[in-house]
Amino acid sequence: MAAINPVYLDNYGIINYHTHVFNHFLEESETMAEKSFNPFEMAQAQFDRVAEILDLDQGTKELLRYNLREYHVSIPVRMDDGTVKVFRGFRVQHNDARGPAKGGIRFHPMETIDTVRALAMWMTWKCSVVDIPLGGGKGGIICDPHNLSMREQEAICRGWIRHLAKDMGPLKDVPAPDVMTSAQHMLWMLDEFEAIHGQRLPGFITGKPVGMGGSLGRTEATGYGVIFTVREALKQLEIPASETRASVQGFGNVAQYAIELYNQIWGKVVCVSSWDQKDQTSYSFYKEDGVDLATLRSITDRFGGIDKVRAKEHGYEVLPGEAWLEQDVEILIPSALEHQITWKNVDKISKSVKIIAEGANGPTTPDADKVIHKRGIFMIPDLLANAGGVTCSYFEQVQSNMNYFWEKDEVLGKLDTKMTSAFNAVSDLAKKKKLYMRDAAYVIAVGRVAQACKDRGWV
């Protein structure tokens, strides 16, 4: 496997797929609707739909529709050239009725408070649907690590913690890596937090290096979690995995480990997509007899971009970036960024597709989701499909707090149990109430949080 710069790995195993994909989306959007896309409004719309199904009272709706707390901070950093630059940062705690807030901290040059708000809300539902005792939080800093030295990145990490150290902690709010942050960033943040409090508190943050309080199995967790749910969906649909083919968007760690485990259950991936940093565009790589994971890893750069010239030499057909969506396969796994399956391309999904498993957060827009639902495609929604990352992050938090660490097989075994149990709960409710899988997942997740708020006497 080609060497991967750990700066670009996040807590859930995602290589930055990346700044450029999101920038490209913003620059190339052809309609005002897409240009004005607001992820927080999308998250609220999803909540509103479920609030009606659950018939929540007005007070509970008003509480859960917004975040409990938000922090906006300015971080002055003396740059390597001697100038001082001020970076804007955020931390949002959506709800902590079920436990400490939990969620990543991302570096992104186009970060917005509404993106962080949406992700914090989604984290609340994600922790709830897999029934781990945590709430939802998220953080972000407007910056681009591509253009920052390691010293400058360290200064940003420590500055962010200095602003928020009194409002976070193992029993309050537990951050983790996200887009363009890594185990190294988490270690700098932990060191600063411990220096401020004068204690060793490894449970304050997750996504740490193994050997410094990190958990074995963390790298595999999100991708494996996706396939644990796919495996269960195939059982329910009575389709042997060996008779299925899949197409995957993205080639970061989520995609790579999803492909790895899918191959182990005898499925075949015939197409993957990745971002080409040089061309500033994405490509899909197709191979009729199945992609070879080891080969693709060997020709992948540190950003998760596959070398298209070398791919052709290995027999891959290089197609346009969106071609991953159009393949005649049974399973689609979007594992890149939000807002990827939209009203513009949803009709390109092949009639052969039986399952969509959302490895990314928010890859399907509500209007596209309606089409998918109408077509009867089995949707494994993001808050369930990619919850393996936060579940393993919770395992790391538990291990750090008790200073006792599990072997990798134990971690992955516990992960399988959690993901399978969550899938079955959502599937059972969907069948019992004749609900779309996304709606069933939200009903369970929101219902648990609403009940916790009620039990605490908040509403």
The residues annotated with a catalytic role in the active site are 138
CA dist., res. 121 & res. 138, Å (int):
9
CA dist., res. 452 & res. 136, Å (int):
14
Torsional sign, CA 293, 297, 300, 303? positive
- Cα 285 to its chain centre, rounded Å, is 23
Beta bridge partners of residue 72, listed in sequence order = 90
Report the C-alpha dihedral over residues 54, 420, 349, 297, rounded to 10 degrees: 140
Check: CB of residue 77 under 8 Å from CB of residue 156: yes
3-state secondary structure of 174: strand
Residue 75 is classified by DSSP as: E
Buried b (16+ CB within 10 A) or exposed e, 125-160: bbbbbbebebbbbbbbbbbebbebeeebbbbbbbbb
3-state helix, strand, coil in the chain (%, to 5): 50, 20, 30
3-state secondary structure of 399: helix
Residue 85 is classified by DSSP as: E
CA dist., res. 406 & res. 392, Å (int):
12
Q: How far is CA 375 from CA 146, 221, 369, in A?
A: 42, 30, 10
